[in-house]
Amino acid sequence: MHTTQYEGKVVQVGNSRGMRLPAGFFKAHPEFNGKVRATFVADGQVLISAQPATKSKAAKPETDPIMDSFFSFLEAQMAAHPKHIVPADAAQLSRIGALVAGVKVV
């Protein structure tokens, strides 16, 4: 079994504390992007386990990290440069319609 160690640190998260690990950890182990369980093993040692996702009718839809990053970028650009926000004209709407013609949304 190959083991990889990751350095992290404990940080303040709202009114609680959390463990911050590098992005590479979550990229290599995406199962840890959801719920986790921490089990105390011994002084100075904790076992962190990924918890299986449960399907429920009230569950929130999964987010797409790429889209989240894009929307964050877009929000920052709109706040920094509000003069660039203009309504779409008829020609732009026509081009957009042509781009998505025949695309089904499910």
**Alpha-carbon distance 32 to 19, whole Å?**
12
pTM: 0.45
Q: With CA atoms as reference, report the closest residue to 26 among 17, 36, 16.
A: 36
Strands 9-13 and 16-20: antiparallel
Q: Tell me, what amino acid is at 106?
A: V
Residue 100 structure tokens: 């998505």
Q: How many CB atoms lie within 10 A of CB 92?
A: 11
Q: Which two tokens stand for residue 5?
A: 């160690």
Q: What is the pLDDT along the chain (106 residues), one digit of tens a residue?
A: 567 888 999 999 888 898 899 998 888 888 888 889 889 888 888 888 998 876 666 666 778 888 889 999 999 999 999 899 989 999 999 999 999 999 988 7
